[in-house]
Amino acid sequence: MSKKRKIDRDKYKEKIAKILILDNFNKRKAYHIDRKKQWYNTVEDYILGIKSTFPKYGDFGHSIQVIIREDGLAGEFNISEGVLAKIVAEYIMNYGETSNYKEIDFVLQNDLGRYIKNGVPTCDVEFFETMWDHFSYLKDRWGHDIKDGMWEEILPEVESAMENVEEDDLIQFDSLKQEEMYFRSYWHYPIDNLGWTKDMLCDWYIYNAPEYKLKEYFYDRYWDKSIHELPLWEGNYYFIEVDKLF
């Protein structure tokens, strides 16, 4: 995408967010004035008030729901609720900020595993250790042990490394059977013995991990930290703080 097209797209998204928020602000202000209840003096106060509640669903999530649902104005844009929620939430979260743009993704709950698999999150030692333990008993779609399949995938590279090793190399190899035992013993074998980077290993783990197991792991670990829930008409969503997960 060209820089100009991206700027035009960002301006259009900002315009949508402003229209929805202003419309909602005016209607709710009129409602509160009519009932002689206190309300925000300006739309800026309203935006900052919503922003201050992030990421609590009870306040922030409810406000997003109300903004994109009320009076059917959102329907005029012919955009799904999930996309509208992302547009409005990102506008609010970045309101008044001059740097560190925050990106928020809205993902249907059933699609969380696929979203993580396609996005490839940041992998740390806890992730590697946990998934390596899971690989010891998990099966692939054909009913084969995942760790067996991973060894078969990496075997040609191990054999090549063994054939090309020099006596003065820092990394030395034992028999192929012994190397397989090392591989099965600890998660960082490709890094230690084949020179992989952590990112390469992360991609490989994500590729081999079943979607449901990725969803389970990241939901349990990041729930209410960078993964939050938002029910919408078209389905229950997770909204995800991308910079904290990827």
Q: What is the pLDDT of residues 24-35, one digit of tens each?
A: 999 989 988 888
Q: Which of 59, 56, 54, 71 is nearest to 20 (CA)?
A: 71
pLDDT at 57 over 60: no
Lowest mean pLDDT among 23-32, 63-72, 80-89: 63-72
Q: Which of 130, 132, 125, 184 is nearest to 154 (CA)?
A: 184
- For residue 230, what pLDDT is reported? 80
Sorted by sequence, the CB contacts under 8 Å of residue 9 that are 6+ apart come out as 1
For residue 108, the cross-strand partners are: 237
State the amino acid at position 77 in one-letter form: F
The pTM assigned to this predicted structure is 0.76
Domain spans of the chain, in order of start: 3-119+220-245, 125-219
Mean pLDDT to the nearest integer, 213-234: 84
| Other beta carbons less than 10 A from residue 160's beta carbon | 11
Lowest mean pLDDT among 80-89, 161-170, 225-234: 161-170
pLDDT at 58 over 70: no
Q: Which residue has the higher pLDDT, 90 or 58?
A: 90
77 within 8 A of 35, measured Cβ to Cβ? no
Residue found under tokens 């979260």 = 93
- For residue 227, what pLDDT is reported? 86
Angle between helices 3-34 and 81-93 (to 10 degrees): 90
- For residue 202, what pLDDT is reported? 94
DSSP 57: I
Tens digit of pLDDT for each residue in 126-184?
999 999 999 999 988 888 899 999 999 999 999 998 888 776 666 778 889 999 999 99
- For residue 170, what pLDDT is reported? 63
* pLDDT band at residue 186 using 50, 70 and 90 as cut-offs: very high
CA 19, CA 71: separation in Å to the nearest integer?
A: 13
Q: Which of 246, 244, 228, 245 is nearest to 86 (CA)?
A: 228
Length of the chain: 246
- For residue 23, what pLDDT is reported? 92
- For residue 235, what pLDDT is reported? 76
CA 62, CA 112: separation in Å to the nearest integer?
A: 21
| Other beta carbons less than 10 A from residue 196's beta carbon | 18
95 within 8 A of 47, measured Cβ to Cβ? yes
Q: 114: which 2 tokens?
A: 């696929």
154 within 8 A of 183, measured Cβ to Cβ? yes
